[in-house]
Structure 1
Amino acid sequence: MNYFYLVPVASIVALIFAYYFFKRMMKESEGTEKMKTIARHVREGAMSYLKQQYKVVTAVFIVLALLFAVMAFFGLQNNWVPFAFLTGGFFSGLAGFFGMKTATYASARTANAVRRSLNSGLQVAFRSGAVMGLVVVGLALLDISAWYLILDHFVEDADAGHKLVMITTTMLTFGMGASTQALFARVGGGIYTKAADVGADLVGKVEAGIPEDDPRNPATIADNVGDNVGDVAGMGADLYESYCGSILSTAALGASAFIMNPSMQKNAVFAPMIIAAIGVFLSILGVFLVRTKENASVKQLMDSLNRGVNVSAILIAGATFGILYLLGFTNWLGLSFSVIAGLLAGIIIGQGTEYFTSHSYKPTRGIAASAQTGPATVIISGMGTGFISTVVPVVTIVLAIVISYLSAIRFDVQNMISAGNLSMGLYGIAIAAVGMLSTLGITLATDAYGPIADNAGGNAEMSGLEPEVRKRTDALDALGNTTAATGKGFAIGSAALTGLALLASYMEEVRIGMLRLGDDVLELADGDTVEVAKASFVDFMNYFQVTLMNPKVLAGIFLGSMMAFLFCGLTMNAVGRAAQKMVEEVRRQFREIKGIMTGETTPDYARCVAISTKGAQREMLLPSLLAIIIPILTGLIFGVAGVMGLLAGGLGAGFVLAVFMANSGGAWDNAKKYIEEGHLGGKGSEAHKATVVGDTVGDPFKDTSGPSLNILIKLMSMVAIVMAGLTAAWSLL
């Protein structure tokens, strides 16, 4: 039976339910005229920014597509790649657009629903977030299934299962389009939102002493716009490419691992797609399980969201055994445990992130307590907490890698890296990444929920709604801070497993590149020869001398590690420069526009939106283009061995640094929220002012540099994969 058609069916079902949740949300009232006006300002600002960003990204995409077309003309690339690259970027951008459009319509409706009850507000915000999750998985599976059917029809039959290898490696390259779009969305959106946020906090809270989201603050609308362009459109594009990358790299590794077993090869390619398809149906079920009671605490609200996520995860874990058994895998049991290892890793990373960033637990409360001695101790405590927090996700990923690998090779520890076992083990790691992302429809919903709840609170504050409503939106917002931090941890964890699978897929693309160039035989150092078409991963590693004793590999490792820190430095400084302009503008308006502080005059919100937009567009180009240029230059100078080192160094350093930055920023933010709830002196106290400084430092940590690193890891891998033919053809050393 051909189970493949579950994939396009699941994609259509996901899009239908996304539309259903969107229409249900649109039937809700936006509330008072003032609430509607504020929501409209945010919506217009977000769409204006996105329009500008897509203009810049379109220009970059045209240049890169022309480059790939030239490479294809000279036989260095598959003729389909320029088209696959463009569709990957288009669908990634489309997913972010739909998610952000929904979020900008949902914030006022959430604030108005909270006037009825806390549960009503939670449901509107969460189901609006589910639109983002379901659009991402729906468009991703639609793109994947469409490309498979197109290539299956047009790619000529080849011997010994090479047709499927050609199809899957070609499909893998459309991930570069998704990664490129995601990086621009994450970096640009992150710079935009944090420039506005830092400006609003430093001048509004610290200098003027007015509350967060006070309508007298000129940067408030820009801050709310930023939540949408960074944390909704950016995160959606980010996880779209993670989702696609995990499925496509697993399919490519499956085609390679089962190349000598044609009867199973197609099922090995289909397995990650079908697991993801079943995950769509179970994610929809989980969305309907999320509800809460009145006057719930942040922990109880978190339990409500976790109920939906955990039920979906448990059900997909059980379904995996049946899927792999029906597909005919002889080691269906072991591969099922590989999937479960990925699922459990995602849950553990999420719980670990919650522990280190939620103010319900000791680490964040400790940061809040340190605020009593000033901002310096807040910064020190937050950084220390961030460093310590890397232990849980790193150990979890290590265990997931080892368990998924050993499960796939039936715990054959004595022959772990033999030719056949290495291919199967890598397939096990890749399918673990699919397991981690299999319920993305609901896990992304919990993340997109955060900025919707945050904007709802801002709308309630600016509209002057009654204190009880603001208290409820504060509860939803505090939960949103934790889910956003959890979502970032989840995204970073998935990047680690997906990045490892892409590392293996790179070598498969090198094989295809060599065959395209007419290099049919590998001459190994010991004098043996092996056909390129039949060479194993071990053969390629020996041929290219990918060992720690090779200076080209070591050079690549150092360059990859450096890229993580260089990228963070560039994006942090970009936020600093854009925030400085915002601070100067907010101060100017307070100084020159009479009547702002008394509420008699409306600030010039549009000017602040324009400053953030211009700053983000200008500042996002350099770090984003470096992520594309460095892997190309490394390949041209150091060859395949250097690229393998670059990807390994970037993966190791980038993963740990991303966790540190995301968790430090999340903990600083929630330490401030903890004091604002009335603890340790409450709002306006010296301790509160100290945590505002910590939160301001943490803003680019958690919303710009940290989350962008996981895209950097995957984009460098995708660029290396697309350029594999050129790297195999020529290098300086």
Structure 2
Amino acid sequence: MDVLLLPPLFGLAGLLVAFIIYRIIISYPAGDGAVAEIAALIHKGAMVFMRREYTILGVFLLIVTVLLAYGFGSWRTPTAFVVGALCSAIAGYIGMFTATRANVRTTVAAANEGAATALSVAFYGGSVMGLAVASMGLLGLGALYLLFGGNPEHAEAIHGFGMGASTVALFSRVGGGIFTKSADVGADLVGKVEAGIPEDDPRNPGVIADNVGDNVGDVAGMGSDIFESYCGSMIATIAIAAAMTLAQVDQLAVSREALMFAPLALASLGLLCSVAGIVMVRLCSASAPAMALRSGTIGATVILIATAYFLLSSQGINSAVWWCVVFGAVGGIFIGLVTEYYTGGKPVRVIAEGGETGPATVMIAGLATGMESVVVPVLVIAGIIGATASILPEGTGVYGVGMAAVGMLATVGITMAIDAYGPVADNAGGIAEMANMGEETRKITDGLDEVGNTTAAIGKGFAIGAAGLAALAIIAAFIATVEKHVPGFMLRIDDPRVLMGMFIGGIFPFIVSAITMRAVGEAAFDMIKEIRRQFKEIPGLMEGTAKPDSDRCVDIATQAALKRMILPGVLAVASPVVVGFVFGPQVLGGMLGGALVSCVLLALTMANAGGAWDNAKKYVEKGNLGGKGSEVHKAVVVGDTVGDPFKDTSGPAMNILINVMAIVSLVIAPLLG
């Protein structure tokens, strides 16, 4: 069998496994009465939002496809762009559809069968998302590589796949983030602070929208986010290998083809390791949830590291490349653990204690935590870059960076499964609260949700680190591609054009953060007015004898997200084109460097500050420092409210922003000559 067939075949096999897991999920009882009614509202809201979002996205993609066809005068790059967009959209849709089926079954399992079964169902829900991301990436990119990869003249068309995936990711992450946080902020401020009712109280009109948002933002949006980094790292590494000189190739492998195929081969192996990790979690489901989930993550990584050595050796690739894979895989885990400390360790208690003197000290402590949390992950990324450069022959270090990024993302199936588990568990708790299923059920779902908050925080840290490495590899591929088409091209730090570009690039993370933060604030304002109106005008709502108009709140969040997600997407896609063609490749290269550094730093700060504020609130709600209803609780709720768009809207947008800018630059690189 031709080895080039293996990635798409593995992709199909992964989708089959995902379907089998989905059938297992729906074999569990979904409940009836209020439970089924609430779950149906969440599912309906999520699906309506996705359909409307994809309709707008489809128009944007059509315009870009036409422009690509005109610019390249060929069908290859536009075709790859469309395939990348479809694969990303399908992966997100599959994951979110499954999550909205798994949430209610997790609740019912918690009520009827206990914590172990509830953990299994919630994790199965996340596993379908993880496997869909990995499988659609291998299927789409593997098929295009089979079609174009053997011909160096056509291999650059594969870059369009990454552009399509990144474009969908940006719209999904930003749109989903605006939706979920406008609902979350509105529901929390009016419900918990003003009305003094619990989170997920069925009387709160914003609660259904909040639960819908968990799915469209933290499942579909996060899935698209990881998908574009996963595919981007492979595309960049293939492009770097394609641009190497024969002397550089001879130092690393028996052939250029072996180096180009290595990322796809490693990702295929990673899919198998992810399935093994999913099995490990299932076998350990009777133990503590955190231990079971961690066993799958670390176990899959260990298997990948061990087997990758034999895989690369069999392809005739220098063992130094394997060490690059090790650095990336271990670095990803380390970044996740550091993130876990800052969003779940001592810093969280310090922030909570700040609530004893009011919201201002909570805000100060949270911002300080977010800024401090940047140090170690960035040093890890720098260490990975330095280590790969030191062990590989001179001039081939960027290939090592690409393989490190692929190594970090190869087990995306289990990584994404554990991240998507969080929103499923969170929804399960919300359904239990809204359906009044009792303290015992809520205790189990709260335990699962607490672990889910940690896994989500780890996932965000991992996503930022992976996006940073993937973007760096894409930028390296951009430079190599421009060098092929523009003789004598160089990026020098003492070139005024490069310096100009660096400062321009540093602007984008801040302007996109401002747009998305303001979008959440404005949408939350509309949500708050609507929730207040319903509390005031619907007779018997506060007494629990009338039902809230949840559909109205879902519609407000949907309209806000769809209207405000367009500008960040246009900025990210259009800015490299404008800068590249107006000012030249040197300015564009500098812009990518400035944007990369600024995006990573800002993303880590916002994600970890937001996660720490969130868990400080939960720490108080457990009964510490006065518990729910106390002045400390009101102070930390304010911190959590500010942290919501930090960690779930603006912060995650940074990952995709830099990858979109980098991959668009890579796609247009052949035209800059």
Q: TM-score, with normalisation over the residues of structure 2? A: 0.97
Alignment of 1:143-292 (within 5 A): 143-151=140-148, 164-257=151-244, 259=246, 264-291=255-282
Deviation at 1:719, TM superposition (A): 1.3
Q: Which residue number corresponds to residue 85 of structure 2?
A: 89
**Residue pair 1:488, 1:707 contacting (<8 A) in 2 also:** yes
Q: Answer yes or no: is the 8 Å Cα contact 2:176–2:221 preserved in 1.
A: yes
Distance 1:725 1:270, change over 3 A: closer
Q: Residues 287-298 of structure 1 correspond to what in structure 2 (within 5 A)? A: 287-291=278-282
Partner residue, 1:386 = 370
Q: Deviations 1:399-443 (Å, cap 9, x if unpaired)?
A: 01111222222xxxxxxxxxxx22x21101100000000110000
**2:295 maps to what in 1?**
307
User: Any idea what SS the aligned residue of 1:598 has?
Assistant: coil
Separation in 2, partners of 1:132, 1:580 = 32
Q: Does 1:480 align with 2:442?
A: no
Q: Equivalents in 1 of 2:246, 2:68: separation in Å? A: 28
Partner of residue 361 from structure 2, selected from 377, 392, 397: 377
1:150 CA displacement: 1.9
Give a deviation string over 1:513-552, Cα, whole Å, max 9, x none. Answer: 55xxxxxxx3xxxxxxxxxxxxxxxx531xxxx2122221
1:470-549 maps to which residues of 2 (within 5 A)? 470-511=442-483, 513=485, 522=487, 539-541=488-490, 546-549=491-494
State the secondary structure of the residue aligned to 1:31.
Answer: coil
* In structure 2, C-alpha distance between the alignment counterparts of 1:269 and 1:540, rounded to whole Å: 23
Match of 2:106 among 107, 110, 125: 110
**2:541 equivalent in structure 1:** 596
- Asked if the contact 1:95/1:236 (under 8 Å) is kept, the reply is yes
| Rounded Cα–Cα distance in structure 1 between residues aligned with 2:339 and 2:597 | 19
Cα distance between partner residues in 2 of 1:167 and 1:406: 32
TM-superposed deviation, 1:292 = 8.5
For 1:716, the equivalent position in structure 2 comes to: 661
Query: Does the C-alpha gap of structure 1 residues 259 and 145 become closer, same or farther in structure 2, counting only changes over 3 Å?
Result: farther
> How far does residue 511 in structure 1 lie from its aligned partner after superposition?
4.5
Contact 1:283 1:441 in 2 (8 A): yes
Write the letter of the residue equivalent to 2:411.
T
Q: Helix, strand or coil: the match of 1:173?
A: helix
- Tell me, yes or no, if the aligned pair for 2:5 and 2:146 is still in contact at 8 Å: no
Which deviations, in whole Å up to 9, do the C-alpha atoms of 1:134-153 show, x marking residues without a partner?
Answer: 0111111000111122225x
Distance in 2 (CA, whole Å) between partners of 1:165 and 1:629 is: 27
The equivalent of 1:138 in structure 2 is 135
How far did residue 478 of structure 1 move? 1.2
Q: Which residue of 2 aligns with 1:554?
A: 499
Query: Any runs of at least 4 consecutive aligned residues in structure 1 with deviations exceeding 4 A, and if so which?
Result: 258-263, 291-296, 511-514
Which residue is equivalent to 1:325?
313
Could you tell me which amino acid in structure 2 is paired with residue 308 of structure 1?
G
What is the match of residue 323 of structure 2? 337
Q: How much does 1:636 deviate?
A: 2.2
Task: Work out the CA distance in 2 between the residues paired with 1:98 and 1:375.
Answer: 40
Which residue identity lines up with residue 710 of structure 1 in the other structure? Answer: N
Q: Report if the CA contact (8 A) 1:10-1:138 is conserved.
A: yes
Checking the alignment, whether the CA contact within 8 Å between 1:590 and 1:596 is kept in structure 2 is yes
Q: Deviations over 1:438-471 (max 9, x none)?
A: 1100000010001000000000000001101101
Contact 2:148 2:155 in 1 (8 A): no
Structure 1: runs of 5 or more not aligned? 153-162, 410-420, 515-521, 523-538, 729-733
Matches for 1:528-677 after TM superposition, within 5 Å: 539-541=488-490, 546-677=491-622
Amino acid at match of 2:89: G
Aligned position for 1:529: none
Instruction: State the SS of the aligned residue for 2:584.
Output: helix
Q: How does 1:17-28 map to 2 (within 5 A)?
A: 17-28=17-28
Q: Which amino acid counterpart does residue 333 of structure 2 have in structure 1?
A: I
Q: Would the alpha carbon gap of residues 295 and 386 (structure 1) be closer, same or farther in structure 2, given more than 3 Å must change?
A: farther
Question: 1:641 and 1:218 mapped to 2: Cα distance?
Answer: 52
Output the CA distance in 2 between the equivalents of 1:562 and 1:222: 33
Cα distance, 1:291–1:363 mapped onto 2, change above 3 Å: farther
Q: Give the Cα–Cα distance (whole angstroms) in 2 for the partners of residues 449 and 667 of structure 1.
A: 19
1:295 Cα deviation from its structure 2 partner: 10
Distance apart, 1:258 and its partner CA: 5.6
Compared CA separation, residues 168 and 302, structure 1 to 2 (3 A): farther
Q: Contact 1:164/1:255 (CA < 8 Å) preserved in 2? A: no
Tell me which structure has the larger Cα radius of gyration: 1
CA distance in 2, matches of 1:256, 1:294: 47
TM-superposed CA distance for 1:294, in Å, is: 9.3
Note the C-alpha offset of 1:168.
3.2
1:46 matched residue in structure 2: 46
Measured after TM superposition, the shift of residue 726 of structure 1 is 3.5
Corresponding residue to 2:338 among 352, 362, 365:
352
**Residues 67 and 563 (structure 1), Cα distance of their counterparts in 2 relative to 1, 3 Å cut:** same
Deviation at 1:685, TM superposition (A): 1.1
Aligned-residue offset at 1:219: 0.4
| Residue 80 (1) aligns with residue 64 (2) | no
Per-residue deviation, 1:209: 0.3
Shift of 1:259: 4.3
Once residues 481 and 454 of structure 2 are traced to their aligned partners in structure 1, the CA distance between those partners, rounded to angstroms, is: 39
Separation in 1, partners of 2:387, 2:285: 42
Q: Identity, % of aligned pairs?
A: 47
Q: CA RMSD in A?
A: 1.6
Q: Is the 8 A contact 1:49 1:613 kept in 2?
A: yes
Q: In 2, distance between residues paired with 1:303 and 1:657?
A: 31
Q: Is the 8 A contact 1:189 1:226 kept in 2?
A: yes
Tell me the SS of whatever aligns to 1:166.
coil
Instruction: Look up the match of 1:697.
Output: 642
User: Within 5 A, what are the aligned runs for 1:389-428?
Assistant: 389-409=373-393, 421-422=394-395, 424-428=396-400
Match for residue 456 of structure 1? 428
Structure 2 CA distance, aligned partners of 1:313 and 1:258? Answer: 32
1:679 aligns with 2:624: yes
Task: Report the equivalent of 1:367.
Answer: 351
How far apart are residue 388 of structure 1 and its match? 0.5
Q: Tell me by how many angstroms 1:2 deviates.
A: 4.8
Q: Which amino acid aligns with 2:21?
A: F
Amino acid at match of 1:689: K
Give the aligned partner of residue 436 of structure 1. 408
Structure 2 counterpart of 1:530? none
Which of residues 94, 119, 133 in structure 2 aligns to 1:98?
A: 94
CA-CA distance at 1:727 after TM superposition: 2.8
Q: CA deviation at 1:507?
A: 2.2
The answer to whether the Cα contact below 8 Å between 1:168 and 1:248 also exists between their aligned partners in 2 is no
Q: Deviations over 1:64-112 (max 9, x none)?
A: 1111111123xxxx54111111111111011000000000011010011
Q: 2 CA distance for matches of 1:365 and 1:303?
A: 22
8 Å Cα contact 2:77/2:159 also seen in 1: no
Q: In the alignment, what sits opposite 1:415?
A: none
Say whether the 8 Å CA contact 1:258–1:264 is kept in structure 2: no
TM-score (norm 1): 0.89
Aligned length: 668
- Contact 2:373–2:605 under 8 Å retained in 1: yes
CA distance in 1: counterparts of 2:546 and 2:516, whole angstroms: 35
Give CA-to-partner distance per residue, 1:366-409, whole Å, 9 cap, x none. 11111111111111101100100011110110101111222222
